Amino acid sequence: MPSRRDLANAIRALSMDAVQKAKSGHPGAPMGMADIAQVLWTDFLNHNPTNPEWANRDRFVLSNGHGSMLIYSLLHLSGYALPIEELAQFRQLHSKTPGHPEYGYTAGVETTTGPLGQGICNAVGMAIAEKTLAAQFNKPGHEIVDHYTYSFLGDGCLMEGVSHEACSLAGTLGLGKLVAFWDDNGISIDGEVEGWFTDDTPARFEAYGWHVIADVDGHDADAIAAAIAQAKAVTDKPTMICCKTIIGFGSPNKSGSHDCHGAPLGDEEIAAAREFLNWPHAPFEIPADVYAGWDAKEAGSSKEQEWNAKFDAYAAAFPAEAAEYKRRIAGDLPADFSAKADAFIQECQDKAENVASRKASQNSIEAFASILPEVIGGSADLAGSNLTLWSGAKGLTAEDASGNYIFYGVREFGMTAIMNGIGLHGGFRPYGATFLMFMEYARNALRMSALMGIPNIQVYTHDSIGQGEDGPTHQPIEQVANLRLTPNMDTWRPCDAAETATAWKFALERKDGPSSLVFSRQGLPAQARDAAQVKAIARGGYILKDTAGTPDVIIIATGSEVGISVEAAEQLATQGIAARVVSMPCTSVFDKQDADYKESVLPSSITKRVAVEAAHVDYWYKYVGFNGAIVGMSTFGESAPGGALLKHFGITADAVVEAAKGL
């Protein structure tokens, strides 16, 4: 039988060979963490390579994702559907081994990592999901939700501020089944980190409320195993295992140096490493006994079968709960959800209430969360302003995780990255909220949700200069365009309650990507619609107000500017100018409609067009052309009451009239 070190050396060999063949990559971290990975994956990790989607598997997150050959080696050696040919195509086009681990590309990769710090935040989200799902479904003697989340992370993850946001909350929530491993090798790209990173990391995590195991030799298998066992024995706190490692372990001349951090070792050094490690095998050659020592297929299948038997017993005792668990894990909505949602949308239309769209959003949450127990909400310390709380909201605590609401505190970036982990775990549909302006803090986590196609829901309120007295620091200008320009992100800016409810329905039914719902602080007038128009809201853009004949001009508007556009159309009519008003709450959804529908709403023959939005003007040229007019913003705002600002900056019906007449 091969020794533990032989098993770990297989990771080292595959990592240095793949990076060398690609002439690109990071061999240092995989070689340095190979011993830790070997102990965790062969002795502790519950997973099934033949079914990577097993619901009760342990989650493994490589937060220091630049060391991607570590996870690719682990997946290949353990028996996942990742053949050696894919490792030999590391970082090549269309391979299943991209430069950083990509969710959806490679079986067994739980999340896309690479932007440092976010992987550990995803892990926090996964651990929250596990704890909450267990609290909601487990019964005495029937623990069907019972798994761990493990995460590797490096100095870079700890330097990124987002790790502070998420790990602080993890301690507060007492996530006892979260275990993190710090690769304490003292090296980053620029060299020895003591020149710029001298934090007392163990003390920092103790202050967060974590269980900390310090000074573990990351190359001593027995010490690593003892630390993991100790971590699992502490059930009321997350654990940080601080592992002292040598980056590039096995490379005689480059280990312990930044020379092996982000560059191939070179043929000569790889030959020397093979001799040092007593690994006399050709590149990408793994001996049969080493494969046998790693193979987890049989053990993994057995563990899943044991869990299936437990679930069958649970289903016999609690059939309704078992069916609900399966529905939620599958990500399916109740069969009657769509009909109930449509009825609520029509109710909003019939009531014709003049309310701020943030209040209309709260009403939608009330209606939909009450019939969707998988909805788990939250706000970055702005629940009273974002209006994300509803009558059935119950906050999560360390002692009671059975609720459906997370008080994230002032942690916009951490909140959004944690939501990504919750969404990836399964069983929940998370939403989180802040002011639209502060989506900037969360920008990269938003991008990651779109990149991975996670159907999370972002609630952004106080959406324009109409926000008012807080001034330009709190008034978004370019943020809506930023969201719209993000591939795979649907951005809704509804004008009233019916559009708001439609946006929520669409976001909840979407499975292939995130939605950003952008709402006003100020009250908005309800718009009159017939049944066909109510249905057309879901197409992203539709004719809200039309003329008897061919329009002279088309006014395209969103959100709070739809109301003033309707006023402008009425004024234009008195002056003999026929104006069509198109409400476009979601440009990306409208753009996906068939050509005939888009032509019916925005006929190419009508080139006189005005776009109206209290946001940056540049986005709208794609709809009005360079000969059209845009009523919007090209500067930052000011501090004053919202109504005064809208008048000052010319976001008024009169301004829309003048723009149309100018055409």
Positive or negative CA dihedral for 251, 253, 259, 264?
negative
Q: Which tokens go with 371?
A: 């019939």
- Distance between CA atoms of 460 and 456, rounded to whole angstroms? 13
- On the question of pLDDT at 573 being above 90, the answer is yes
pLDDT digits (tens, 9 = 90+) for 199-216: 999 999 999 999 999 999
From 121, 207, 129, 125, select the one nearest 171 (Cα to Cα): 207
- Distance between CA atoms of 566 and 652, rounded to whole angstroms? 11
Mean pLDDT across 450-477: 97
Choosing from 412, 499, 561, 613, the catalytic residue is: 412
Three-state secondary-structure class, residue 215 = strand
Work out the pLDDT band at 193, boundaries 50, 70, 90.
very high
Mean pLDDT across 267-272: 98
Mean pLDDT across 340-345: 98
Work out the pLDDT band at 227, boundaries 50, 70, 90.
very high
Beta-carbon contacts of 632 under 8 Å, excluding residues fewer than 6 positions away, are 611, 612, 613, 614, 615, 616, 617, 620, 651
Q: Residues of the chain with pLDDT > 90: what percent?
A: 100
From 137, 227, 151, select the one nearest 182 (Cα to Cα): 151
- Distance between CA atoms of 446 and 463, rounded to whole angstroms? 17
275 as an active site residue: the answer is no
- On the question of pLDDT at 656 being above 90, the answer is yes
- Distance between CA atoms of 136 and 325, rounded to whole angstroms? 10
Mean pLDDT across 332-358: 98
Task: Report the mean per-residue pLDDT for the chain.
Answer: 98
Give residue 470's pLDDT: 95
Three-state secondary-structure class, residue 355 = strand
- Distance between CA atoms of 98 and 533, rounded to whole angstroms? 45
- Distance between CA atoms of 339 and 143, rounded to whole angstroms? 34
Give residue 1's pLDDT: 85
CA 525 from centre of chain: 33
- On the question of pLDDT at 101 being above 90, the answer is yes
- Per-residue CA distances from 158 to 63, 78, 165, 201 (Å): 10, 29, 11, 8
Give residue 4's pLDDT: 98
